[in-house]
Amino acid sequence: MGLSYECFDEKFFELVDVEQELRTVCNGFTFIEGPIWNRASRYLTFNDIPVSKTYRYSESQGVSLLREDTHKANGNAYDLNGDIIVCEHVRSCISKTDDQGKGLRVLVSHYQGKELNSPNDVIVKSNGVLYFTDPRCGRNPSRVGLERPQQLDFQGVFSFNEETGELKLLADDFETPNGLCFCEDEKVLLVSDPPRKHIRRFRVEDDGTLSGGEVFAETRDGGVGLPDGMKIDSKENVFCCAQGGIHIFDRTGTYLGIVKIPEQAGNCTFGGENMDTLFVTASTTLYSFRIKGYAK
């Protein structure tokens, strides 16, 4: 039967073989997020937010429990040493473990004496500096958060230098900043803002600060969800989890199409033997499909 999809530009078919089936990799979760691929060991690590658990998947071993009591962890990223950077909702912090989920420690939890809101997604620049979004989602009365007052009066994007301990506020004019990724050799940062149904484009200056912030792309309604986690491939096409599935744009923001996912798609990452498989964490299920090309 093939993939369910919408095509808005013929270049969509240069990226996606629509004759393939959407693969159900594993299921039975509550709301999974934060997928990261270990290229050397060929396994995927991801969080199940409501139950505060981290799982690991590989073709050879299947699914195993890596860590419990994660404080409703959301986004993950590998740092330059291969350790896992973790966004914690309940403790409103960025923490770190080794690749086996051991040695948990908090890296940063406060800005100017006030608690962060609830770090959501994180990426690591090639110089080791962390960039993360900080909406209030983890403070809302929901299964992915712990209801409590918000101390900061904004929802922003930050950078954190672990070596110096410096936390910088980079932008604070979002309604709810969420997914983020670098492109154009880390000279550009894309950030999604779900309630506004768009992705913004910032220039990354030499000192790591941001400028600009114009709208890069807007997502069309097409199902459950809003702009969330996103990744780019080697040609800098953008794959964004949003309404009804994976919304794909080229590097200029041209809307190419949507690969439909049966559940709410929260985040995605490239992996597999040839780095041409897009793994999608979508509520109760981990899905995947292949692209024509290679990821970063």
Return per-residue pLDDT of the chain as tens, 296 residues. 899 999 999 999 999 999 999 999 999 999 999 999 999 999 999 999 999 999 999 999 999 999 999 999 999 999 999 999 999 999 999 999 999 999 999 999 999 999 999 999 999 999 999 999 999 999 999 999 999 999 999 999 999 999 999 999 999 999 999 999 999 999 999 999 999 999 999 999 999 999 999 999 999 988 999 999 999 999 999 999 999 999 999 999 999 999 999 999 999 999 999 999 999 999 999 999 999 976 55
- In 3-state terms, what secondary structure has residue 277? strand
Contact 97, 103 (CB under 8 A): yes
Q: How do 277-282 and 285-290 pair as beta strands? A: antiparallel
DSSP three-state, residue 102: coil
Distance of CA 265 to the CA centre of its chain: 11
pTM above 0.75, yes or no: yes
Give Cα 103 to chain centroid, integer Å.
Answer: 23
Q: Domains along the chain?
A: 32-232 (2.120.10.30)
